[in-house]
Chain A
Amino acid sequence: MNVAPSDDLRDPSSLYFQYDKVRRSIIASYWLVFFLALPLWWNTTSIERLPLPSSNVHAQHGRELRLPVKIALDPAFGSIASSVESELRNVIQQKHQTPPLDVSIFVGNEQGGWYDEDVYAVKPGETGMVLDGRRLGFPKDHLTPSSLAQTLSSLILPYSAKQEHRVAQYSPRFRLAFTLLNEDASAGQTVTGWDILDAIDRHISPITSAVSVLHNFTIESQVQFHAPLAFEPKPLEDGTFGLTPEDLTIFVNSAEWTLSSSSSNDPVLHFVLFVPSLSRRPLVILNDDGTPSTSNAFLIPQWGSIVICNLPPIPNEKWLSNSDLMTPFSAFSHQLSALLGIPKLPSGIKTSPSTSSLSPWQIDALLRHRMHEAVRRTKDTLLSTVQLVQQIPNMPVDAKAQSDVQNALSALDAVWDSEGGKAFNLTDMLGNSARALTSSQRAFFHPGMLALLYFPAEHKYAVYTPLFASAVIPLIATAIREFLAWRRQRREAVNER
Chain B
Amino acid sequence: MFLSFTATLTKAWSFFLILWLTSCLYVSGEYHEHETEVKDFFQRNGSSTHTNNWAVLVCSSRYWFNYRHMSNALGMYRTVKRLGIPDSNIILMLADDSACNSRNKFPASVYANAGRNLDLYGSNIEVDYRGYEVTVENFLRVLTGRLPESVPRSKRLLSDSNSNIFVYMTGHGGNEFLKFQDSEEVSAHDIADAFEQMWQGGRYNEIFFMIDTCQANTMYSKFYSPNILATGSSLEGENSYSYENDHDLGVSVIDSYTHYVLEFMENVNKTSRLTMGDLFTSYNVPKIASHPGIRSDLFPRPLGGGEALHDYGRGSGWRHPGEWVGREQEKSKKGSEALITDFFGGVVGVDIEEDTSDAHHTEASSDSVPKERTKAEKKGVKASPYLAQRTTKTRSWINLKELRAWSSFLIVGLLVGLVWARQS
Q: Are A252 and B187 in contact (CB under 8 A)?
A: no
Give 1 or 0 for each of A332-362: 1 = CB within 8 Å of chain B CB.
0011001000001001000000000000000
Q: B421's contact among A250, A262, A305, A484, by CB below 8 Å, is which?
A: A484
- Which single residue of chain B is at the shortest CB-CB distance from A166? B351
**Partner among A165, A327, A451 whose Cβ is within 8 Å of the Cβ of B193:** A451
A299 to B352, CA, bound (A): 6
Known pairs A446-B146, A472-B413, A473-B413; A387 contacts B200 (CB<8 A): yes
Contact call A480/B417, Cβ cutoff below 8 A: yes
A465 touches B16 (CB 8 A): yes
Partner pick for B352 among A285, A301, A473, A480, CB 8 A cutoff = A285
Q: A248-B352, A300-B347 are in contact. Are A390 and B391 (CB under 8 A)?
A: yes
Q: Does B24 lie within 8 Å of A299, measured CB to CB?
A: no
CB neighbours of B196 from chain A (8 A): 388, 391-392
Give the residue name and chain of the A residue nearest to B354 (CB).
Answer: A295
Let me know if B36 is at the binding interface, CB within 8 A. no
- Residues in A neighbouring B421, C-beta threshold 8 A: 477, 480-481, 484
Judged by a CB distance under 8 angstroms, whether B81 is at the interface is yes
- A372 in the interface, Cβ–Cβ < 8 Å? no
Q: Which listed segment binds B: A107-115, A136-144, A456-464? A: A456-464
A132 and B116 CA atoms in complex are apart in Å by 71
State which residues 6-33 of B face A: CB under 8 Å: 9, 12-13, 16, 19-20, 23-24, 26-27
Q: Which of B147-155, B235-243, B312-320, B331-339 contacts A (4 or more CB under 8 A)?
A: B147-155
- A299 interface neighbour in B351, B383, B401, Cβ under 8 Å: B351
Instruction: Specify which of B27, B136, B161, B383 is in contact with A456 (CB 8 Å cutoff).
Output: B27
Residues 153-175 of chain A: 1 if any B CB is under 8 Å from the residue's CB, otherwise 0? 00000000111111001000000
Q: B349 contacts A301, CB within 8 Å?
A: yes
Within the complex, the shortest CB–CB distance from A326 to chain B, in Å, comes to 12
Q: Which residues of A contact B146 (CB under 8 A)?
A: 445-450
* Given A295-B352, A445-B145, A447-B146, A380-B162 contact (CB < 8 Å): no
Within 8 A of B (CB), among A39-68: 61
Most buried by B among A165, A295, A380, A450: A165
Q: How far is the CA of A230 from the CA of B158 in the complex (A)?
A: 25
CB neighbours (8 Å) of B9 from chain A are: 470, 473
Task: Write out the residue numbers on chain B whose beta carbons fall within 8 Å of the beta carbon of A33.
Answer: none
Within 8 A of A (CB), among B326-351: 345-351
Instruction: Say whether B20 contacts A303, CB under 8 Å.
Output: no
Q: Is the CB of B271 within 8 A of A255?
A: no
| B391 contact set on A, CB distance < 8 A | 387, 390-391
B12 touches A473 (CB 8 A): yes
Chain A residues within an 8 Å CB radius of B256: none
A384 at the interface (CB under 8 A from B): yes
B355 within 8 A of A: yes
Task: Report the bound CA distance from A344 to B20 in whole Å.
Answer: 67
CA distance A244 to B173 in the complex (A): 46
Contacts of A347 in B (CB 8 A): 357-358
Contact status of A245 and B346, CB under 8 A, knowing A161-B370, A390-B388: no
* B148, A391: Cβ atoms closer than 8 Å: no
Assess whether A161 is in contact with B371, with CB atoms less than 8 Å apart. yes
- Assess whether B119 is interfacial by the CB under 8 Å rule: no
Q: Is the CB of B51 within 8 A of A245?
A: no
* Residues 264-311 of A contacting B (Cβ, < 8 Å): 264-265, 267, 285, 287-288, 293-295, 297-303, 305
A393 within 8 A of B: yes
Of the candidate stretches B64-72, B301-309, B360-368, the one touching chain A is B360-368
In the assembled complex, B118 has its CB within 8 A of some CB on chain A: no
Q: How far, in whole Å, are A164 and B352 apart by their CA atoms in the complex?
A: 15
Per-residue interface assignment for chain B, residues 28 to 49, with 1 indicating a CB less than 8 Å from any chain A CB and 0 otherwise: 0000000000000000000001
Most interface-central of B16, B197, B365, B418 (chain A CB within 10 A): B197
Q: Residue A476 contacts which of B89, B158, B161, B413 (CB distance < 8 angstroms)?
A: B413
Task: For the complex, give the distance between the alpha carbons of A163 and B349 in Å.
Answer: 12
CA distance A295 to B360 in the complex (A): 11
Q: Shortest CB–CB separation between residue A102 and chain B, in angstroms?
A: 22
Q: Distance (Å) between the CB of A164 and the closest chain B CB?
A: 5
The interface of chain B, by Cβ under 8 A from chain A, is 9, 12-13, 16, 19-20, 23-24, 26-27, 49, 51-52, 81-82, 84-89, 124, 136-137, 140-141, 144-148, 152-154, 156, 158, 160-162, 184, 186-187, 189-190, 193, 196-197, 200-202, 270-271, 345-355, 357-358, 361-362, 364-365, 368, 370-372, 379, 382-383, 387-388, 391-392, 394-395, 398, 401-402, 405, 413-414, 416-418, 420-421, 424
Could you tell me which A residues sit within 8 Å of B by CB distance? 61, 161-166, 169, 230-231, 245-246, 248-252, 254-255, 262-265, 267, 285, 287-288, 293-295, 297-303, 305, 327, 331, 334-335, 338, 344, 347, 377, 380-381, 383-384, 387-388, 390-393, 444-451, 453-454, 456-458, 461-462, 465, 469-470, 472-473, 476-477, 479-481, 484
Could you show 20 A-B contacts with beta carbons less than 8 Å apart?
Answer: A61-B383, A169-B161, A230-B84, A230-B270, A245-B350, A249-B270, A249-B364, A254-B84, A254-B85, A262-B154, A288-B362, A295-B354, A299-B351, A300-B51, A300-B347, A381-B202, A383-B383, A447-B147, A457-B401, A473-B417
